[in-house]
Structure 1
Amino acid sequence: MSTVLGVLSAVFLLSGGAFSLLGAIGLLRFADTASRLHAASKTQTLGLLLILLGTALQVPVKYGLVLLLLALFQLVTVPVTGQIVGRTAYRTGAVRRGDLVVDELGRRLEREEAGPPD
Structure 2
Amino acid sequence: MSSVADVLAVACLLAGAALCLTAGLGLVRFPDVLSRMHAGTKPQVLGVLLVMVGGAIRLSSWSAAWMLLLVAAFQLLTAPVSAHMISRVAYRRRHVRRDLLLVDELGDGTAQDVVYRGDEPGDAPPEDPPRSMPAG
TM-score tier by shorter-chain length is 0.7 to 0.9
1:42 and 2:42 matched: yes
Amino acid at match of 2:21: L
Residue 74 of structure 1 deviates from its aligned partner by 0.4
- What is the aligned-residue RMSD (CA, Å)? 1.4
Task: Determine which structure has the larger helix proportion and give its number.
Answer: 1
Q: Determine which structure has greater relative contact order: mean sequence separation of CA pairs < 8 Å that are 6+ residues apart, divided by chain length.
A: 1
* 1:28 aligned partner, one-letter code: V
Percent identity between matched residues is 46
Structure 1 CA distance for aligned equivalents of residues 3 and 103 of structure 2:
50
Q: Hey, what does 1:90 align to over in structure 2?
A: 91
Q: Which has the larger radius of gyration?
A: 2
Residue 16 of structure 1: aligned partner: 16
Q: Which runs of 5+ in 2 are unaligned?
A: 110-131
> CA deviation digits over 1:11-60, x for unaligned, max 9?
00000000000110110011111110111001111110000000000121
* Structure-2 residue corresponding to 1:107: 108
* Equivalent AA in structure 2 for residue 6 of structure 1: D
What runs of 5+ residues in structure 1 fail to find an aligned partner? Answer: 114-118
Secondary structure of 1:104's counterpart equals coil
